Amino acid sequence: MSQTLTAAPVANAYSSGRLGRPVPWIVLAASLVLAAVVFGLLQASDGAKDFNIVGTILVGMIIYGVAIYVISLLVEGGRRAKDRLVTALVSAAFALALLPLISLLFTVVTNGTGRFDLEFFTFSMRNIVGEGGGGIHAIIGTVLMTLTAAVISVPIGLLTSIYLVEYGRGPLSRAITFFVDVMTGIPSIVAGLFAYAVFALIFGPGVRLGIAGAISLAVLMIPVVVRSSEDMLKLVPNELREAAFALGVPKWLTILKVVLPTSIAGITTGVMLAIARVIGETAPLLVAAGFTNNLNYNLFEGRMQSLPVFVYNSYISQGTDAQAYLDRAWAGALTLILIVMLLNLLARVVARIFAPKAGR
Amino acid sequence: MTPSTASSVREPRVKAKQRPGDRIFAGSTLTAGTLILAMLAAVAAFLVIQSIPAVTTDPGEIPILAGETFWSYVAPLVFGTLWSAALALLMAIPVSIGIALFISHYAPRRLAQGLGYVIDLLAAVPSVVFGLWGANVLAPAVQPFYSWLTETMGWFPLFAPPASGTGRTILTASIVLAVMVLPIITALSREVFLQTPVLHEEAALALGATKWEMIRTAVLPFGRPGIVSASMLGLGRALGETMAVAMVLSASGGINFALLTSSNPGTIAANIALSFPEAFGTNVNVLIATGLLLFAITLVVNSIARWIIARRKEFSGAN
């Protein structure tokens, strides 16, 4: 026994070496530099091509993983080497997810600013071939349809969440909870097909209306509103309700005057996030509201363009001057991203400012 | 007043006063709840009604089917939908778990929430923008890599040559899908990892485990059902995603496992988006029927995910 122990001494955290704190960073910098040198040489031999930043980062991370594993294995032993390797992998996963995000935002901003001008926000596409024109008809359509969807889905969603939290008991509330979950999973294009099917049955086949688009968006929006408002209502402490009941306040007034004001910040945030989610939906609007080059303010008559469909259409059916269509598509994409980001930001600000003060 | 007198004089049971306000309010919430059920029933009913002609009509009279039966028309689309979603998940799940672990256990505490927001930004990008980016930026960028892969690894069936000249293959579409489902899987698994009992983690560390050993023995076993259900929800999203696939993938139909060639299977959702604007007559019914099939597939996937989450709830707490 003792012989085998002395033959293979167990690595001990106190006796074996440890890498110092700066060592991983030095190794990381060294491997990135190495990768940069490799790609720089490749570029020099290749000639015209741009310097490959993405490739440098990827190869640098791979070199770092191998290097830190080997160094740690030699100094600290197998267990710590594995630990360092996993740390490298996990951090690499995060960096890997940042790559598409940065690339996407970068390309949208650089390509989108080209046509992000006054003309884009004042012209529709009526009678325009090739250059010029803009997306005002799409912006108006998006705003109209999204607002209508919000007007339909916020009351239904909010009342349903109140039912689930304050009134609902038994099989009906369980069924509603289950089917709200089912609705969350409806593919967006199926919602569009539903709205189309309803209106095709009433107005005959081939009908495309702004209101149909709004209804398909509402189908997608209701479950999100129900979910978020339900969570917010559940956060209201029961003591508040009981205090109101003890003072003889009727239940409906308790909900209106005590429960809702307490949770209004969270509910507003949820609604804004739901709007941000549906404002970027393309497929249902393509199917239910169609596309057009003209400005249309009437939800109940004629096709209605929306910003996502505008982007899709400009890309899919490029005219003779393809670059002009692509430029408009990118400008539309930039507008869309700005709207969504703004809504998300506003939602967070609302949540922070109007949140009830905790712990008095 | 002594207790004896209080108990001896039994007051008559007071019924709560029924106020009209209460009735109206409770009634309207109930109506809203039932309206949701009715709406879902309507979705199912209208889709079923509209898709019946697709199966019953003689295939020869439906131009889009080109003489085939409905089922042989839809089979490659179902395959393409499942295949692209599976590839996307294969790429997204390991990366998502890595990101979730990074945010929950590796990143500095003060940065963690901010980093979470950054990943949530990915979820906020509209799918049509992803499509534009995938077709114009990603596809040309990966194309040289694809041709290199087919030249060196062409013997491997998945990388069979010839490489697509545009790079708009099913693998590119799956990469875009993977980026899109990443934030969903990350957000859910992050929540689960953060719920790991701190005592378990501290116990593992106290026994001398390294950080990775602590995660492997305490965090991952606790979070496994969460990861599974998050992946299923991500799968539901990937199956139903329309625009990104429609814009990135250049589909030619048929069932084909090769990832890098220019003959790719289409997906149900993308096929509807591409064909619907020009569809007429019974073609519309065929497309709606494929949509119903997609609805059924995602319904099954989501139900399994919800079932796993619900089962998880029963023994949460400190186990």
Predicted confidence (pLDDT) per residue in B104-119, tens digit = 988 888 888 888 888 8
More confident position, B241 or A17: B241
pLDDT reading at B311 higher than 50: yes
Q: Cα B36 to chain center, whole Å?
A: 22
Contact A303, A138 (CB under 8 A): no
- Please give the Cα distance from A317 to B131 (Å, whole number): 14
Please check the confidence at residue B149 and state whether its pLDDT lies above 80: yes
CB contact under 8 A, A159 and B119: no
Residues of B (53-92) whose Cβ lies below 8 Å from A:
none
- The structure tokens listed for B145 are 């890599």
Task: Tell me the CA end-to-end span of chain B in Å, nearest whole number.
Answer: 51
Residues of A in contact with B191 (CB under 8 A): none
Q: Is the pLDDT of residue B316 over 50?
A: no
What is the residue range of B87's domain?
A: 57-314
Mark which residues 9-48 of B lie under 8 Å from A by CB: 19, 21-22, 24-26, 28-37, 39-40, 42-43, 46-47
- Return phi, psi of residue B264, to 5°: -115, 145
Among A94, A183, A189, beta carbon nearest to B272:
A189
Quick one: pLDDT at residue A79? 86
Within 8 A of A206 by CB-CB distance, chain B residues are 280
Q: How confident is the model at residue B205 (pLDDT cuts 50, 70, 90)?
A: very high
pLDDT tops 70 at residue B102: yes
What CATH topology corresponds to A122-353?
MetI-like fold (1.10.3720)
State the complex-level ipTM. 0.84
Looking at chain B, the whole-number percentage of residues with pLDDT higher than 70 is 94
Alpha helix ranges (H) inside A204-250: 210-235, 238-246
Q: Token pair 């509103």 is at which residue?
A: A225
Contacts of B26 in chain A (CB under 8 A): 167, 251-252
Residues 6+ apart with CB under 8 A from A220: A186, A188, A191, A277, A278, A281, A284
The pLDDT score that the predictor gives to residue B36 is: 92
- The pLDDT of residue A183: 86
Q: Tell if the CB–CB gap between B30 and A226 is shorter than 8 Å.
A: no
How far, in Å, CA of A65 to CA of B214, rounded? 20
Task: Report how many domains make up chain B.
Answer: 1
3-class DSSP assignment, residue B251 = strand
Distance from CA of A333 to the nearest CA of B (A): 6
Paired tokens of A256: 């209106």
Which residue among A175, A219, A291 places its CB closest to the CB of B39? A219
User: Taking every pair of C-alpha atoms in chain A, what is the biggest distance, in angstroms?
Assistant: 93
Between residues B79 and B165, which one has the greater pLDDT?
Answer: B79
Reported as a single tens digit per residue, the pLDDT across B168-189 is 888 999 999 999 999 989 988 8
The reported pLDDT for the residue numbered B10 is 66
Q: Which residue of B has its CA nearest to A219?
A: B39
**Residue in B28, B124, B276 closest to A159 by CB:** B28
Q: What is the C-alpha to C-alpha distance for residues A339 and A347, in angstroms, rounded to an integer?
A: 12
Whether B42 is in a domain gets the answer no
Output the CA angle A305-A191-A141, nearest 5 degrees: 15
Residue B9 confidence (pLDDT) above 80: no
Q: Using the structure block, give the residue that is written with the tokens 């704190």.
A: A21
pLDDT, block means (10 residues), chain A with 360 residues: 49 64 86 86 69 79 89 85 90 89 91 85 81 86 93 94 89 89 87 90 84 93 92 90 92 91 88 89 89 86 89 84 86 91 87 64
B251 forms beta bridges with: B264
- Nearest C-alpha of chain B: how many angstroms from A179? 7
Looking up tokens 């269509």 gives: A325
Q: Are A280 and B122 in contact (CB under 8 A)?
A: no
**Who among A80, A190, A286 is closest to B291 (CB)?**
A190
Inter-residue contact A142 to A307 (CB < 8 Å): yes
Residue B233 has pLDDT above 80, yes or no: yes
pLDDT of residue A15: 57
Do B212 and A329 lie within an 8 Å CB cutoff? no
User: Which residue in the set B182, B186, B210 is minimally distant from A79, CB to CB?
Assistant: B210
The partner residue sitting opposite A311, judged by closest CB among B122, B128, B288, is: B128
pLDDT band at B13 (very low <50, low <70, confident <90, very high): confident
Burial of A84 from C-beta contacts in 10 A (0-12 / 13-18 / 19+): buried
Residues A177, A174: Cα–Cα separation, whole Å: 5
Which residue type sits at A147?
L
Q: Residue B75's domain is classified under what CATH number? A: 1.10.3720.10
In a domain, residue B35? The reply is no
What contacts B205, CB < 8 A, 6 or more positions away?
B211, B214
- What backbone torsions phi and psi does residue B101 show, to the nearest 5 degrees? -65, -40
Cα of B119 to nearest chain A Cα, Å: 8
* pLDDT confidence of residue A163: 93
Tokens of B312: 């998880």
Q: Considering only CB atoms, which chain B residues are within 8 Å of A82? A: 210, 212
B303, part of any domain: yes
| Separation between Cα atoms, residue B213 and residue B207, nearest integer Å | 10
What integer best gives the mean pLDDT of chain B?
Answer: 84
Confidence of residue B293 (pLDDT cuts 50, 70, 90): very high
Q: Tell me how far apart the alpha carbons of residues B142 and A78 are, in angstroms, rounded to a whole number.
A: 36
- The closest alpha carbon to A208, from A220, A221, A197, A222, belongs to A197
Task: Determine the pLDDT at residue B303.
Answer: 83
Q: Is A325 on the interface with B (CB under 8 A)?
A: no
Domain ranges of chain A: 2-112, 122-353
Token readout for A111 is: 């390509």
Q: Residues with Cβ < 8 Å from A326, sequence gap 6 or more?
A: A111, A314, A315, A318, B136
What pLDDT, on a 0 to 100 scale, did the predictor assign at position A146? 94
Assess A173–B contact: CB distance below 8 Å, yes or no: yes
Locate A168 and state its tokens. Answer: 């609902």
For residues B29 and B283, give the distance between their C-alpha atoms in angstroms, rounded to a whole number.
40
- The residues in B 105-124 lying below 8 A from A, measured between CB atoms, are 106-107, 115, 118-119, 121-122, 124
* Nearest CB neighbour to A252, from listed B21, B242, B294: B21
The pTM assigned to this predicted structure is 0.86
A75 touches chain B (CB under 8 A): no
Residue A260: enclosing H or E segment and its boundaries? helix A260-279
Q: Provide, for chain B, the percentages of residues in helix, strand and coil under a 3-state DSSP scheme, each rounded to the nearest 5.
A: 75, 0, 20
pLDDT of residue B317: 42
Which tokens belong to B90?
A: 């294969």
State the alpha helices, DSSP H only, in B67-216. Answer: 70-101, 109-124, 127-133, 139-153, 170-194, 198-206, 211-214
pLDDT at A266: 87
Residue B278 counted as domain residue = yes
pLDDT, residue B318, reads 38
Q: Is the pLDDT of residue B62 over 50?
A: yes
Q: How far is A80 from chain B (nearest CA, A)?
A: 7
